[in-house]
Structure 1
Amino acid sequence: MNKEERDQFLEEVMVAHGSELVRLAFTYVKNIEAAKDLVQNTFIKCYERIDHFRYEAQIKTWLYRITINECKDYLKSWSYRTEKAVDFLQTTVKAIRPSVEEEWLVKSDRQQMKRIVLSLPTNYREVIYLYYYQSLKIEEIATVCSLNENTVKTRLRRAKQKLKEKLEEVHVHG
């Protein structure tokens, strides 16, 4: 691939996958600015390594793998351990305009669900995010996370159980 083709390819990939990669990174680092920086690193690596991409998997799966690795490296880094994460996932576009009270309740429920999902251990949080928020299939999650499909199924089942327990706890105590 020549430089011009590589530049064009990168631009297309950034437009097609940038937002979803930022959301994916955010589920790991819980900080929107850090997530954006990590995705920028993903695109740099994509640009540098595109000639090594074998097209055995989808480009999206490859980008997810790079992003997850970037996030895991970041989470191990000294800079991460010294900063406090406060940002939450971006809310989705509302289909209808509810009343102020309804809007507050829906937003409150979403924020509570985000807090609960983000409170899960990373190995559960990543499968929940990829399965429910990115609509990836079990086999795609296995590829992205470099896991056996049965491991993904087990983690997903355990993550759902943990979510259920946390939701029940919130409703009993909340």
Structure 2
Amino acid sequence: MDRILADQKLRLAMNEHSNYLLKIAYLYVKDWPAAEDIVQDVFLKFYQEFERFEERSSLKTYLTRMTINKCKDYLKSWRYRKQIITNSFSNQTKKARNRIIEQDEKLELADSVLQLPLKYREVVVYFYFEELSVLEVAHILSISDNTVKTRLRKARALLKIQLKDHQWEVLLDE
């Protein structure tokens, strides 16, 4: 009986949250196949440990926290470090082509955000792209709201430096 309920919950969770979790995972690891693997692992773990979910928070928050933790584990892994080393050799020709393609303002801004260190990138993504409040971001990341504000301020300063040659309305008002 519990497995039937777990199956239903899993299907519902996958239908409702897959795309969101995939975006979150990609923003952390910057690799679509790895992001897909991470989200798949999150849903597998949720299915296996279905009974442990106490519903103290929403299912979306619970799955988001699991995804963030899996992403951080992945970023610490040997597999990721090995991939970065091999990609640095093969990406030389891709970088030249990407500079031509990424002339669009939105792509440049997104690329700059992805260049931020993880602790700044995650608050920017949640605050600006997901449009969460400072308190919601603090809750998801398990940090204080003042830490979120400080990281946002530092991230904006870093983005200003990266984008100093461009006129960005969002950064000029700061």
The verdict on how the C-alpha distance between 1:106 and 1:82 changes in structure 2, with shifts beyond 3 A counting, is closer
Tell whether the 8 Å contact from 1:21 to 1:39 is kept in structure 2 after alignment: yes
Instruction: Give the CA deviation at 1:31.
Output: 0.4
Residue segments in structure 1 that go unaligned for 5+ positions in a row: 87-103
Instruction: Give the CA deviation at 1:38.
Output: 0.3
Residue segments in structure 2 that go unaligned for 5+ positions in a row: 89-99, 168-174
Tell whether the 8 Å contact from 1:61 to 1:140 is kept in structure 2 after alignment: no
Instruction: Give the CA deviation at 1:107.
Output: 6.6
Structure 1's consecutive aligned runs of 4 or more residues displaced over 2 angstroms after TM superposition are 104-107
The verdict on how the C-alpha distance between 1:42 and 1:107 changes in structure 2, with shifts beyond 3 A counting, is farther
Superposition map of 1:65-144 within 5 A: 65-84=65-84, 108-144=104-140
User: Partner of 2:104: helix, strand, or coil?
Assistant: helix
In structure 1, the residue matched to 2:20 is: 20
Instruction: Give the CA deviation at 1:138.
Output: 1.7
The verdict on how the C-alpha distance between 1:29 and 1:109 changes in structure 2, with shifts beyond 3 A counting, is same
Tell me how far apart the structure 1 counterparts of residues 166 and 131 of structure 2 sit (CA, whole Å): 27
Q: Does 1:171 align with 2:166?
A: yes
In structure 2, the residue matched to 1:39 is: 39
- Report the TM-score when normalising by structure 1: 0.81
The verdict on how the C-alpha distance between 1:167 and 1:28 changes in structure 2, with shifts beyond 3 A counting, is same
Counterpart residue identity of residue 69, structure 1: N
Superposition map of 1:58-69 within 5 A: 58-69=58-69
User: Partner of 2:166: helix, strand, or coil?
Assistant: helix
Counterpart residue identity of residue 25, structure 1: A
Instruction: Give the CA deviation at 1:120.
Output: 0.3
Tell me how far apart the structure 1 counterparts of residues 57 and 28 of structure 2 sit (CA, whole Å): 23
- Report the TM-score when normalising by structure 2: 0.81
Question: Cα RMSD over matched residues?
Answer: 2.2
The verdict on how the C-alpha distance between 1:11 and 1:124 changes in structure 2, with shifts beyond 3 A counting, is same
Instruction: Give the CA deviation at 1:54.
Output: 2.0
Tell whether the 8 Å contact from 1:141 to 1:152 is kept in structure 2 after alignment: yes
Tell me how far apart the structure 2 counterparts of residues 114 and 41 of structure 1 sit (CA, whole Å): 26
Tell whether the 8 Å contact from 1:26 to 1:32 is kept in structure 2 after alignment: yes
Query: How many corresponding residue pairs?
Result: 154
Tell me how far apart the structure 1 counterparts of residues 132 and 44 of structure 2 sit (CA, whole Å): 24
Identity of aligned residues (%): 41
Tell whether the 8 Å contact from 2:102 to 2:108 is kept in structure 1 after alignment: no
Give the structure, 1 or 2, with the largest relative contact order (CA under 8 Å, sep 6 or more).
1
